């Protein structure tokens, strides 16, 4: 993919096993995406590493569940990685692994609360963090807890004035195009202008499940 989209950002979901091993998987219930069953957070890595991942059609592949440390080592200073730490993941352990891998400048952390962002920034003042925003007024609330530098706003599609107020503060904005009934689920030819309009309106990052195809619209 990186030959086609060298500027792509990889989003990865980090979870922690019962024996505190950090792995990548979207769901806690492993049945949909692996050949196993049960809750990931209640299982040991020795069990999970025996399983195979399933493809989008549900068929078993030859691939195994990735370790967070292995992916960090691969991506450090090579790609930008968006880290989505799922509930129950030890943020301190996750950040220590990121630093040890030399990947602190290759990641941004998706935070589910301002408190999490504040805690991370206290330990890592220049860390890139991402927070959800629905209204520009929330900027001032966030600013009371953390500095606004190295901040990414996760937002749904908005009007140009919304993005302008974030850009005036130096905040990068994303728009998601994945998920049911969204652009990624429709023929590219019929929604090509919609992708372009998101960017024209003010989105800096498009979060998409078809990066190569979407990137081709901007050539």
Given a contact cutoff of 8 angstroms between Cβ atoms, the answer to whether 18 and 42 are in contact is yes
Q: List the beta strands (DSSP E) in the chain.
A: 9-16, 22-24, 80-85, 107-110, 128-132, 151-155, 172-176, 205-207
Phi/psi at 208 (5° precision): -135, 155
- The first and second tokens of residue 153, run together, are 């706003």
Domains of the chain: which residue ranges?
A: 13-93, 111-219
Strands 151-155 and 205-207: unpaired
- Terminal-to-terminal C-alpha distance of the chain: 16
CATH code for residues 111-219: 3.20.20.190
Q: What is the pLDDT along the chain (219 residues), one digit of tens a residue?
A: 656 787 889 999 999 999 999 999 999 999 999 999 999 999 999 999 999 999 989 999 999 999 999 999 999 999 999 999 999 999 999 999 999 999 999 999 999 999 999 999 999 999 999 999 999 999 999 999 999 999 999 988 889 999 999 999 999 999 999 988 899 999 999 999 999 999 999 999 999 999 999 999 998
The pTM score is 0.91
- The first and second tokens of residue 88, run together, are 């129950």
184/168 Cα distance (integer angstroms): 30
């Amino acid at each position: 993919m990186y030959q086609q989209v060298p500027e792509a950002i990889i989003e990865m979901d980090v979870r922690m096993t019962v024996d505190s091993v950090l792995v990548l998987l979207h769901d806690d219930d492993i049945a949909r995406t692996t050949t196993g069953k049960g809750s990931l957070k209640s299982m040991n890595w020795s069990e999970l590493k025996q399983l195979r991942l399933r493809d989008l059609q549900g068929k078993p592949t030859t691939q195994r569940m990735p370790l967070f440390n292995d992916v960090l080592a691969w991506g450090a200073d090579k790609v930008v990685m968006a880290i989505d730490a799922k509930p129950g993941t030890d943020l301190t352990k996750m950040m220590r692994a990121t630093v040890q891998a030399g990947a602190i400048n290759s990641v941004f952390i998706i935070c589910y609360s301002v408190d999490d962002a504040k805690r991370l920034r206290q330990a890592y003042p220049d860390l890139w963090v991402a927070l959800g925003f629905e209204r520009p007024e929330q900027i001032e609330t966030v600013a009371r807890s953390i500095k606004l530098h190295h901040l990414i706003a996760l937002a749904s599609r908005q009007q140009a004035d919304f993005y302008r107020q974030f850009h005036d503060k130096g905040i990068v904005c994303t728009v998601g195009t994945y998920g049911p009934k969204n652009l990624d689920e429709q023929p590219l030819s019929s929604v090509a202008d919609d992708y372009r309009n998101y960017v024209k309106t003010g989105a800096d990052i498009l979060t998409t499940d078809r990066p190569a195809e979407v990137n081709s619209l901007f050539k």
